[in-house]
């Protein structure tokens, strides 16, 4: 489901999972936050997405997602920008950054997110995706490898077709914002990449 935002005709709100590995995202920001309970988890996610929806965001902003952890406390945050420089320019502008920063700080105390670039995708099988995990898992649908800006750390997100058995933390989409420009083209390109990766050879 998507809903166009009144304040920015180029942004829509979505309850879908993020499109990982999209080629136009030169920067992927990833972080995990922990809250006290499920009620607080939802309050923080709603407050964060509302703050971003109210902000004046540049066209280089591509998406921002809050995903709910299956433990009822953890939040997985994923943001995509066209480039690291685009995000730094936005962060350096007090008018654009202050309202978001103030809103987040009023909800939760957290450190800065990790800054990554998508490095590669490993498709394990062709199946619909229902949740994400933050560890490499061979029983998933696909693995998305992101390398940090220093080149020293790799962050893996694994797509799964179910919510798991409760023993390992999984994340389901709660709310997100995505820029509509070329959204369908990016989604179709990602689907075609998966089909090509699992197509039999020979």
Mean pLDDT, rounded, of the chain: 88
**CA-CA distances (angstroms) from residue 159 to 6, 36, 129, 133?**
32, 26, 6, 6
**Which string of b and e fits 167-197 if b means at least 16 CB within 10 Å?**
eebbbebbbbbbbeeebeebeeebeeebeee
- Based on the number of CB atoms within 10 Å of its own CB, is 3 exposed (0-12), middle (13-18) or buried (19 or more)? exposed
Mean pLDDT of the region 123-134:
96
Give the side-chain half-sphere CA count within 13 A for 154. 10
* pLDDT on residue 180: 81
Mean pLDDT of the region 150-173:
95
* pLDDT on residue 10: 82
* pLDDT on residue 181: 62
* pLDDT on residue 190: 53
* pLDDT on residue 189: 54
**42 in Cβ contact with 34 (< 8 Å):** no
Nearest to 79 by CA among 29, 131, 152, 21: 29
* pLDDT on residue 51: 94
* pLDDT on residue 23: 92
CA distance 77 to 137: 20
Tokens describing residue 95: 């008018």
Express as a percent the part of the chain with pLDDT over 90: 72
* pLDDT on residue 126: 93
* pLDDT on residue 97: 77
Tokens describing residue 198: 């699992």
CA distance 157 to 42: 22
**33 in Cβ contact with 74 (< 8 Å):** yes
Which segments within the chain are labelled E, that is strand?
2-5, 8-14, 27-34, 61-69, 74-81, 114-123, 131-133, 142-148, 154-160, 171-179
Tokens describing residue 107: 């909800």
Say if residue 202's pLDDT is above 80.
no
**169 in Cβ contact with 133 (< 8 Å):** yes
Q: What is the pLDDT of residues 61-120, one digit of tens each?
A: 999 999 999 999 999 999 999 999 999 999 998 877 788 988 899 999 999 999 999 999
Distance from first CA to last CA of the chain, Å, rounded?
39
Say if residue 193's pLDDT is above 80.
no
Lowest mean pLDDT among 93-102, 126-135, 152-161, 163-172: 93-102
- Based on the number of CB atoms within 10 Å of its own CB, is 41 exposed (0-12), middle (13-18) or buried (19 or more)? buried
Mean pLDDT of the region 3-28:
83
**pTM for the full model?**
0.86
């Amino acid at each position: 489901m998507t809903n166009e935002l009144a304040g920015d005709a180029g942004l829509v709100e979505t309850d879908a999972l993020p499109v990982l590995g999209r080629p136009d995202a030169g920067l992927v920001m990833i972080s995990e936050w922990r809250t006290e309970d499920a009620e607080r988890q939802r309050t923080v996610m709603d407050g964060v997405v509302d703050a971003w929806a109210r902000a004046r965001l540049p066209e280089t902003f591509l998406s921002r997602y809050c995903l709910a952890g299956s433990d009822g406390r953890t939040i997985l945050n994923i943001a995509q920008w066209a480039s690291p420089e685009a995000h730094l320019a936005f962060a350096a502008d007090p008018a654009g950054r202050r309202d978001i920063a103030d809103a987040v700080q009023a909800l939760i105390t957290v450190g800065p997110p990790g800054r990554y670039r998508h490095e590669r995708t490993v498709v394990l099988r062709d199946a619909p995706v229902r949740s994400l995990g933050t560890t490499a898992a061979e029983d998933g649908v696909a693995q998305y490898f992101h390398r940090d800006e220093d080149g020293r750390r790799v962050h893996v997100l694994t797509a799964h077709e179910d919510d798991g058995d409760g023993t390992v933390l999984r994340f389901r989409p709660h709310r997100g914002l995505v820029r509509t420009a070329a959204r369908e083209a990016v989604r179709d390109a990602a689907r075609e990449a998966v089909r090509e990766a699992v197509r039999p050879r020979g």
